[in-house]
Structure 1
């Protein structure tokens, strides 16, 4: 899932995470990658749901909205994991969508951009990559 291609540098500056990246505000310049607009962290811990069809990812997202997002709440990782196990077509779905820690440059373009731009504890809106449609839950960042 997305591990076969590196980001081509396309659109890196457009997806800035703003001031919500706690880890990104520390150690400025340590990684030497702060100019890309995605913060200074070099690793993200994330879960995701991957579906081939847009309709299916929208169903999964609606389930998250109905439970938490429409109330402004954050989706608990255990609940996100249940949705991932039910809807995800990625092998990681069996592990609740857990991708563990991965470095910048490991995942394909749009996936990496969204993963590094999503605030810790937040869930992304559905988006498309070369592998299908995704929803990401960012669980952590580190250098």
Structure 2
């Protein structure tokens, strides 16, 4: 089940890197990878109540991929989501599927729709706890 965040976010700039993982579908027109123009995003996330737990998961991603300049493979992110996420979607590797603009509220939506395909959004806070998002696709 997808979280519905309301307010109080910090952060939102995605970690940059090299690598693959872009399906190429659903890119919007006029901006990098459709940022700001798409109406649907496909994403995975990890939700933790405690900041220390999300930072621990993020550190594993940094050590495994981000520090080397690589993108985090969705399957590896999914394994971490099964281990760390406190959201019911964690059992599905954090997979939220496709969701439209307006379904998620507040900072969660802002970060999801601002993160380029294949990029990992660093931890940020919502009213539900601390999240990390990896975007897998965009479409209109």
- Normalised to the residue count of structure 2, the TM-score between the two structures is 0.80
- Measure, in 2, the Cα distance between the counterparts of 1:66 and 1:108: 31
Aligned length, in residue pairs: 123
**Which structure 2 residue ranges, 5 or more long, are not aligned?**
15-25
Query: How high is the TM-score relative to the length of structure 1?
Result: 0.78
What is the CA distance between 1:108 and its match in structure 2?
1.5
Distance 1:67-1:16 versus aligned 2 partners, 3 A rule: closer
**Matches of residues 25-44 of structure 1 in structure 2 within 5 Å?**
25=29, 39-44=36-41
Indicate the SS of the match to 1:58: helix
Q: Larger relative contact order (C-alpha < 8 A, sep ≥ 6)?
A: 2
Counterpart CA distance in 1 for 2:61 and 2:110 is 21
Q: Deviations over 1:96-117 (max 9, x none)?
A: 0000000000002100000000
List structure 1 runs of 4+ shifted beyond 4 angstroms.
Answer: none
Structure 1 runs not aligned, ≥5 long:
29-37
More helix as a share of residues? 1
In the alignment, which of 49, 52, 57 is matched to residue 52 of structure 1? 49
Which has the higher Rg, Structure 1 or Structure 2?
1
Counterpart among 18, 22, 27 of residue 23 in structure 1: 27
